[in-house]
A and B are shown apart, each in its own frame.
Chain A
Amino acid sequence: ETGVTQSPTHLIKTRGQQVTLRCSSQSGHNTVSWYQQALGQGPQFIFQYYREEENGRGNFPPRFSGLQFPNYSSELNVNALELDDSALYLCAGTSGSRSSYNEQFFGPGTRLTVL
């Protein structure tokens, strides 16, 4: 048990729709990162939030956006869904300072299917 939960577990959307994925992390996890894992590939970094501010972003378009809340929960929003957005979305929480290598605790993921 990592103490990180994600909802929903599975989600089916159609192209062009918008989706919000949620993550709830442990108390003390001041940093949350979101990853996209396409089938058969390793996770790809989407963005990271540190103390409610974006602290780095991977090679994803602006239609991928996020929020982090004071209660250690966070959201990933994706607008104008495309077929290629079908993937497992993982969030990971970690504590520590801005420049340390603390272990990241992953949630079970949300599997998004775009039809």
Chain B
Amino acid sequence: AQKITQTQPGMFVQEKEAVTLDCTYDTSDPSYGLFWYKQPSSGEMIFLIYQGSYDQQNATEGRYSLNFQKARKSANLVISASQLGDSAMYFCAMSPLTRHLFFGTGTRLTVIP
């Protein structure tokens, strides 16, 4: 069984500061993908970043980086230089070989001016 845990229901960050959103996962699959999605109030899920379980280096996409610690089964999202437009729900998700996604409960990020 797959499980994604996001322990931070809400986070606040000052504009231009960095913030880390936590995610831990549990799976018995030897191979999997890890994703982060952003969901604004409009409802659409916006892909941010992807990490493969066999990737040696942490993924980066612009201001987003994924701190992947395989032994700890954690995949934290780091957002650098926060902007007001970053205020949204953030979901961590995992995909086993079947390719559909298992999502966590999300973290609501609020960027303070």
The residues in A between 24 and 68 inclusive whose CB is less than 8 angstroms from any CB of B are: 31, 33, 35, 41-45, 48, 55-56, 58
Chain B residues close to A by CB (< 8 Å): 4, 32-33, 35, 37, 42-47, 50, 52, 91, 93, 95, 97-106
Residues in chain B near residue A56, CB distance under 8 A: 98, 100
**A99 in contact with B99 given A42-B91, A43-B45, A104-B47 (CB within 8 Å):** yes
In the assembled complex, the Cα of A42 lies from the Cα of B43 at a distance in Å of 11
Question: Which residues from chain B contact A92 at a C-beta distance below 8 Å?
Answer: 45, 101
Task: Give the interface of A toward B (CB within 8 A).
Answer: 2, 31, 33, 35, 41-45, 48, 55-56, 58, 88, 90, 92, 94, 98-109, 111
Q: Would A41 and B99 be within 8 Å (CB), given that A90-B45, A101-B52, A109-B44 are in contact?
A: no
Report how far A58 CA is from B93 CA in the complex, Å: 15
Nearest Cβ on chain B to A49's Cβ, whole angstroms: 11
